[in-house]
A and B are shown apart, each in its own frame.
Chain A
Amino acid sequence: MKTIVIGVIGADVHAVGNKIIEYTLINNGYHVVNIGVLSSQEDFINAAIETDADLILVSSLYGHGEIDCRGMRDKCIESGIGDILLYVGGNIVVGKQDFSEVKKTFLDMGFNRVYSPGTPIEDALSDIKEDLGE
């Protein structure tokens, strides 16, 4: 069974979407490790190491995603899980910025998939299936 670590990064307490993601992933046969809200990069990475996770799915709903996610790939590399898949989604930046640029910023930061506001979880799910296998 593939393992996915999910959680909400930074000083962000939006818990509803987090629960929806957990519910959907479990129903699709994934082992979900939900570290909840107010989580730091280290919380995600530590959980991924202990659980031998295949993917870290970071949620950020309050617009500070860029600051909170910066350097996360480097920390993964330092921690010995440099190859892990990193996804990010939610309202990851403030205001109405051109999403293609936002996406590029996060891809450059080492994220494998970046989702725009309002993306249904089903879209991410098909990517997960593609990346991890069924």
Chain B
Amino acid sequence: MAKYLLIDFGSTFTKLCAVDTEAEDIIDTASYFTTVDEDISIGYHEALKRLYDKIGKDIEFEQVIACSSAAGGLKMAAIGLVEELTAEAAKRVCLGAGAKVDLVLSHHINKHEVQKILDENIDIILLAGGADGGNSECVLYNAELLGKMNVRVPIIFAGNKSARDEIENIFNKYNLDGYICDNVMPKVNSLNTEPAREKIREIFLNKIIEAKGIKSIESEIDQVILPTPNAVLEAAKLLAQGYLNESGFGDIVLIDIGGATTDMYSICNATKRSDVIIHGLEEPFAKRTVEGDLGMRYSAPGIIKSLSLQEIEFINKEKKVDIEKEVKKRYENVKSLPQNKHDEFIDLFLAEICAYRAMHRHVGRIEEVYTPMGKVYNQVGKDLTEIKYVIGTGGVIINSKDKESILKRTTNILHNAQELRPNDPKFYVDQKYIIAAMGLLSKINPLAALRIMKKNIVRI
């Protein structure tokens, strides 16, 4: 017996995936609406019933584990000193841990900003600032203000190590829910993500899922082990890198267009070239960016905001639609699915914009600099030009009749020489919507998870 049930408690759907790791394949999948407002187990039971109906019998699972982005997902605030350095490092750590980063604050924070942390129901604060041995004053000031304003959410200190003792004193003095870990930026421009990420996961497991009413399900299943985007990142890493003798895809890009966000993942080094000079904060090998203003339903208005008036007019004329009206319709009814060809056409168009814009913000840039010693290349961010695989997931891509058209928007269609977008990748789709589930399975049986992904993530 090697059957596992993997659950993704999403913001809208609870998705179940039953796998047989001996056969190295999926038994079946099923889903139902997430019911976290009433009782999360209602939706789970309904989905389970559907799953058993599809399979034709009940199954006894060896383990039942879940990831969750229900009840708003994991909401974090990242605090640092310089915007481009420790604040950015803290933000990247939060994103890599699968969080939504609603607030990024830098330098000395003020009462107004702390009030925002309180108002926006932030789940965890990541407090950084200063390279090791560098500036302590700012991070101490910020910790003190969080204490004075009686912030009760967990605070992870991941700043200058020289400030640690005093930070502990502040945590004790104000009785804060404080945690200490290694600096996210121990040296200028070098990024240290793992310790803080692990700490975030720990707090997510011990506190956040309970606060969000998800913990109650653990009497019926084994454990909720990851925030969903973190599970996706784990799956993407495994699919790219392979496991032992089983090879992976190599460098990949994965895009997940959802109702509220567009998530972009790239698994590769910053560059393969030796003739470029790389600037700025170190890039993570497994990088995730999230666009909270680009989504198909909740965040559809953000798509309009990202367009100029001329562009909107052009679109309306060219496509013979009223794009603002269409977006409003989707925002007001977030559970709506396309009913006819027209709806499908609009969804496709919105998804294309999400893909294009999300990659625009994720990808690195290069510029030629003419120096007395000749031409040199200055690069900021990740070079994705040589990426061979772009993989799509999320309802709109999976259900679209023109998947390639959406995924193609991640490539360099406008021939912008500065943006280091994928040049000529192959396009794949997570047709059965299993990526998050495989991220979970990778924690138990990575080899099976990898082989199942290679079987079920298909070329289009």
Nearest-neighbor residue (CB-CB) of A47 within chain B: B188
CB of A36 closer than 8 Å to a CB of B: yes
Enumerate chain A residues within 8 angstroms of B250, measured Cβ to Cβ.
none
* Nearest Cβ on chain A to B108's Cβ, whole angstroms: 9
Interface string of A31-58 (1 = CB under 8 A from B): 1010111110011001101111100000
Q: Are A46 and B84 interface neighbours, CB within 8 A?
A: yes
Nearest-neighbor residue (CB-CB) of A81 within chain B: B135
In the complex, which of the residues B131, B133, B185 has the most CB atoms of chain A within 10 Å of its own CB atom?
Answer: B131
Of the candidates A13, A39, A50, the one whose C-beta lies within 8 Å of that of B371 is A13
Nearest-neighbor residue (CB-CB) of B374 within chain A: A13
Q: Are B131 and A51 interface neighbours, CB within 8 A?
A: yes
Cα separation A46 to B189 with both chains bound (whole Å): 10
Enumerate chain B residues within 8 angstroms of A68, measured Cβ to Cβ.
none
Nearest-neighbor residue (CB-CB) of A33 within chain B: B188
Q: Are B136 and A50 interface neighbours, CB within 8 A?
A: no
Cα separation A31 to B129 with both chains bound (whole Å): 18
* Nearest Cβ on chain B to A7's Cβ, whole angstroms: 10
Cα separation A31 to B135 with both chains bound (whole Å): 14
Of the candidates B82, B133, B373, the one whose C-beta lies within 8 Å of that of A49 is B82
Nearest-neighbor residue (CB-CB) of B134 within chain A: A51
B180-217, CB < 8 A from A: 185, 187-189
Cα separation A51 to B279 with both chains bound (whole Å): 18
Of the candidates A13, A14, A52, A62, the one whose C-beta lies within 8 Å of that of B135 is A52
CB of A29 closer than 8 Å to a CB of B: no
Enumerate chain B residues within 8 angstroms of A47, measured Cβ to Cβ.
85, 188-189
Enumerate chain B residues within 8 angstroms of A66, measured Cβ to Cβ.
none
Q: Are A38 and B378 interface neighbours, CB within 8 A?
A: yes
CB of B277 closer than 8 Å to a CB of A: yes
* Nearest Cβ on chain A to B130's Cβ, whole angstroms: 6
In the complex, which of the residues A43, A46, A80 has the most CB atoms of chain B within 10 Å of its own CB atom?
Answer: A46
Of the candidates A1, A33, A36, A80, the one whose C-beta lies within 8 Å of that of B277 is A36
* Nearest Cβ on chain A to B20's Cβ, whole angstroms: 51
Enumerate chain B residues within 8 angstroms of A14, measured Cβ to Cβ.
373
Of the candidates B82, B85, B277, the one whose C-beta lies within 8 Å of that of A38 is B277
Number of residues in A with C-beta < 8 Å to the partner? 25
Enumerate chain B residues within 8 angstroms of A42, measured Cβ to Cβ.
84
Enumerate chain B residues within 8 angstroms of A36, measured Cβ to Cβ.
277
Q: Are B369 and A50 interface neighbours, CB within 8 A?
A: no
Q: Are B135 and A50 interface neighbours, CB within 8 A?
A: yes
Enumerate chain A residues within 8 angstroms of B59, measured Cβ to Cβ.
none
Q: Are B277 and A50 interface neighbours, CB within 8 A?
A: no
Enumerate chain A residues within 8 angstroms of B136, measured Cβ to Cβ.
52
Cα separation A36 to B129 with both chains bound (whole Å): 22
Contact A31/B277 with A13-B371, A47-B188 known, Cβ cut-off 8 Å: no
Cα separation A32 to B1 with both chains bound (whole Å): 59
CB of B376 closer than 8 Å to a CB of A: yes
Enumerate chain A residues within 8 angstroms of B107, measured Cβ to Cβ.
80
Interface string of A59-82 (1 = CB under 8 A from B): 000110000000000000000100
Of the candidates A1, A3, A31, A50, the one whose C-beta lies within 8 Å of that of B85 is A50
* Nearest Cβ on chain B to A46's Cβ, whole angstroms: 5
Enumerate chain A residues within 8 angstroms of B376, measured Cβ to Cβ.
11, 13, 38
* Nearest Cβ on chain B to A82's Cβ, whole angstroms: 15
Q: Are B188 and A51 interface neighbours, CB within 8 A?
A: yes
Enumerate chain A residues within 8 angstroms of B81, measured Cβ to Cβ.
49-50
* Nearest Cβ on chain B to A35's Cβ, whole angstroms: 7
Cα separation A131 to B163 with both chains bound (whole Å): 26
B39-93, CB < 8 A from A: 81-82, 84-86
Q: Are A11 and B131 interface neighbours, CB within 8 A?
A: no
Enumerate chain A residues within 8 angstroms of B185, measured Cβ to Cβ.
50
Cα separation A42 to B280 with both chains bound (whole Å): 11
Nearest-neighbor residue (CB-CB) of B159 within chain A: A50
B98-141, CB < 8 A from A: 107, 129-131, 133-137
Q: Are B279 and A50 interface neighbours, CB within 8 A?
A: no
Q: Are B189 and A35 interface neighbours, CB within 8 A?
A: yes
Of the candidates A39, A43, A50, A80, the one whose C-beta lies within 8 Å of that of B134 is A50
Interface string of A10-38 (1 = CB under 8 A from B): 01111000000000000000010101111
Q: List 30 A-B contacts (CB under 8 A).
A: A1-B133, A3-B133, A11-B369, A11-B371, A12-B372, A13-B371, A13-B373, A13-B376, A14-B373, A37-B277, A38-B277, A38-B279, A38-B376, A43-B279, A46-B84, A46-B188, A47-B188, A47-B189, A49-B135, A50-B82, A50-B86, A50-B130, A50-B135, A50-B188, A51-B130, A51-B135, A52-B133, A52-B134, A52-B135, A80-B107
5 further A-B pairs in the complex, CB-CB below 8 A; given A13-B376, A51-B130, A51-B134: A42-B84, A50-B129, A50-B131, A50-B134, A53-B134
Residue numbers of A with Cβ under 8 A of B are 1, 3, 11-14, 31, 33, 35-39, 42-43, 46-47, 49-53, 62-63, 80
Residue numbers of B with Cβ under 8 A of A are 81-82, 84-86, 107, 129-131, 133-137, 185, 187-189, 277, 279, 369-373, 376, 378
